[in-house]
Amino acid sequence: MSTSKGHLGQDVEKQGIKLPKKWSDPKDKVPTGRTMVPGRGGKSGAVRKPRQRYVEKDGKCNVHHGNVRETYRYLTDIFTTLVDLRWRLNLLVFTMVYTTTWVFFGLIWWLIAYIRGDLDHTDDNDWTPCVNNLNGFVSAFLFSIETETTIGYGYRFITDKCPEGILLLLVQAILGSIVNAFMVGCMFVKISQPNRRAETLMFSHTAVISVRDGKLCVMFRVGDLRSSHIVEASIRAKVIRSKQTKEGEFIPLNQTDINVGFDTGDDRLFLVSPLIICHEINATSPFWEISQEQLAREEFEIVVILEGMVEATGMTCQARSSYLDSEVLWGERFTPVLSLEEGFYEVDYDTFHNTYPTPTPACSARDLAELAKKGESIPIPPLSPHDTMEEMSGPEDALDTGEDGEGQEVQETQEAQGVQGTQGAQEVQEAQGAQGAQEVQGVQGAQEVQGVQGAQEVQGVHEAQEAQEDELDGETVSNGDVNKMDSGLE
């Protein structure tokens, strides 16, 4: 036991409870948290190691059972044990079971023939053996296979002069049927397991936190790639994080339920097209006091579980995935994937995992509720110009159908989903207003320039006219002088 002087180690030592070293010593690396590596990046000169996943993205649980001493419990439920085996081990067991039964009963048939002396009278036509044409262990083994598999070639057959052989035939027939039922049933269940059906159920790569209907929400998207649907589909989610109680008890993997519509029935899904699952952050939510800044320091994992019945077989199917704290994006929203075509809706799975930025308060949901009660304005950080362009163009490009009527319906869908935030619209309007003012100023400047140019042109015309009048006057004067000279000569 660790002799650490930490608070957790002291409380545990007082209670006399022995903990594994990795939990009792605070200096040890706790696998459920993040390891701080000194001297690398960050404001404090540290980089956090990614948290160890409890559930992988494909739904596999990273839990290994060690030091299991009561292994006999696996044999008490031998059917489930065989079904859970890997395929190569399952096929090996399947082959070994049949081979063992054939060899076992073949050995008994050979012993009966040996005890009765049938092997010594193989060429005696007057001798009635227990099994005709059984002259050794190989023939006894073949007869055992023919009996258990009910092949019956007819060359080797039992006679009515051997009561022990008749009894053994009954036993082998009954046990053979049991073995067939057990092994074939085991293989059928393993083949028809709905685990592969979960491969066509998709979860978004990331979860997002943004405002929906005026409240902060945690959202992720689910979808089904098959045309055959999941019947009675339901969704639930849990937050897994370490916790220390008031009494000093340390719970490394504490599970807390997340309400994804259980009260309103929204957790019951009609999974025909991709759906966005929404968790409203309220006072009972584990994210109630988490802000954008605190999210970067939190250590948790969101595990989502989708359950339902396979439409083709009626068997229950379960798909799982998880989101680490680093995979939860603040101030993002999922890009729409539905578009209206001629007579049907089309889902574009190329944009299934895509998100785009949206104006979102950086404060926690608790602070947001307090500001709303006081009637104060909600601080929303502005988006960068690049993010604003993505927000304006991303959803419209995703929903563009090329038809006026379809575009109008898509626009209604876009407004219903809250694609454009109020703050974003105001910023766009302000930008448009500023741009319009600049355009007006430009027009006015152009008009002034045109006016100056026009005045200059008018002035030039007047000067040209005056020059022409002067020339005409000069010509008139010259003509008068000539006339005077002519009259003088006369």
pLDDT tens, position by position, 59-75: 999 999 888 888 888 88
Using a 10 angstrom Cβ sphere, with 0-12 exposed, 13-18 middle and 19 or more buried, the burial of residue 21 is exposed
Q: What's the whole-model pTM score? A: 0.63
* Range name among 190-194, 379-383, 427-431 with the lowest pLDDT average: 427-431
How far apart are the two ends of the chain, measured CA to CA in Å?
Answer: 150
Residue 413 has pLDDT above 90, yes or no: no
How confident is the model over 103-158, as pLDDT tens digits?
999 999 999 999 999 898 888 888 989 999 999 999 999 999 999 998 888 889 99
What are the structural domains of the chain? Answer: 74-191 (1.10.287.70), 196-430 (2.60.40.1400)
Neighbouring residues of 218: CB distance < 8 A, sequence distance ≥ 6: 207, 208, 209, 258, 278, 279, 281, 287, 302, 328
Q: What are phi and psi of 266, to 5 degrees?
A: -70, -10
Residue 431 has pLDDT above 50, yes or no: no
Neighbouring residues of 55: CB distance < 8 A, sequence distance ≥ 6: 61, 62, 301, 303, 320, 321, 322
**Token pair 């007057």 in the structure block, residue:** 126
Q: 373-395 burial, b if ≥16 CB within 10 A, otherwise e?
A: eeeeeeebeebeeebbebbbebb
Distance CA 240, CA 54 (A): 8
**For residue 235, what are its two tokens?**
């969704």
- The bridge status of strand 207-212 relative to strand 328-330 is parallel
Question: pLDDT at position 259, please?
Answer: 94
Give SS3 for 231: strand
Residue 161 has pLDDT above 70, yes or no: yes
Question: pLDDT at position 47, please?
Answer: 56
382 pLDDT band (50/70/90 cuts)? low
